Amino acid sequence: MDKRHFLIWAGAAAVVGGPLAGCTEAKPSFNAVDMTGADYAKDFALKDADGKPRTLADFKGKVVVLFFGFAQCPDVCPTTMSEMAQVKQQLGKDADKLQVLFVTVDPERDTPEVMKAYMGAFDPTFVALIPTPEQLAAMAKDYKAYYKKVEGKTPTSYSMDHSAASYIYDTQGRLRLYARYGAGVAPMVADVQALIKQG
Lowest model confidence (mean pLDDT) among 14-28, 48-62, 90-104, 184-198: 14-28
- Of the chain, the percentage scoring pLDDT greater than 90 comes to 80
Average pLDDT over residues 36-52: 96
Q: Which CATH superfamily is domain 28-198 in?
A: Glutaredoxin (3.40.30.10)
Average pLDDT over residues 19-27: 50
| Neighbour tally for 80: CB within 10 Å | 25
162 appears as a binding residue in the annotation: yes
Lowest model confidence (mean pLDDT) among 17-21, 43-47, 162-166: 17-21
State the pLDDT at residue 27. 65
Task: Give the CA distances from residue 32 to residues 54, 89, 119, 165, in Å, rounded to whole numbers and listed in that order.
Answer: 26, 20, 24, 10
Q: Which of 93, 103, 105 is nearest to 56 (CA)?
A: 103
77 appears as a binding residue in the annotation: yes
State the pLDDT at residue 180. 94
Q: Over 90: is that where the pLDDT of 3 sits?
A: no
**Would the CA dihedral through 31, 37, 40, 41 be positive or negative?**
positive
Q: Over 60: is that where the pLDDT of 121 sits?
A: yes
| Neighbour tally for 88: CB within 10 Å | 23
Beta strand segments in the chain, E: 33-34, 46-48, 53-54, 63-69, 98-104, 127-130, 147-150, 159-162, 166-169, 175-179
Query: Identity (one letter) of the amino acid at 69?
Result: G
Average pLDDT, the chain: 89
pTM of the predicted structure, to 2 decimals: 0.84
Question: Which has the higher per-residue pLDDT, 3 or 186?
Answer: 186
Q: Given pLDDT bands bounded at 50, 70 and 90, which one contains residue 144?
A: very high
Q: Which helix (H) or strand (E) holds 89?
A: helix 76-90
Average pLDDT over residues 48-74: 97
- Of the chain, the percentage scoring pLDDT greater than 70 comes to 86
Domain boundaries, the chain: 28-198
Q: Over 90: is that where the pLDDT of 129 sits?
A: yes
State the pLDDT at residue 154. 87
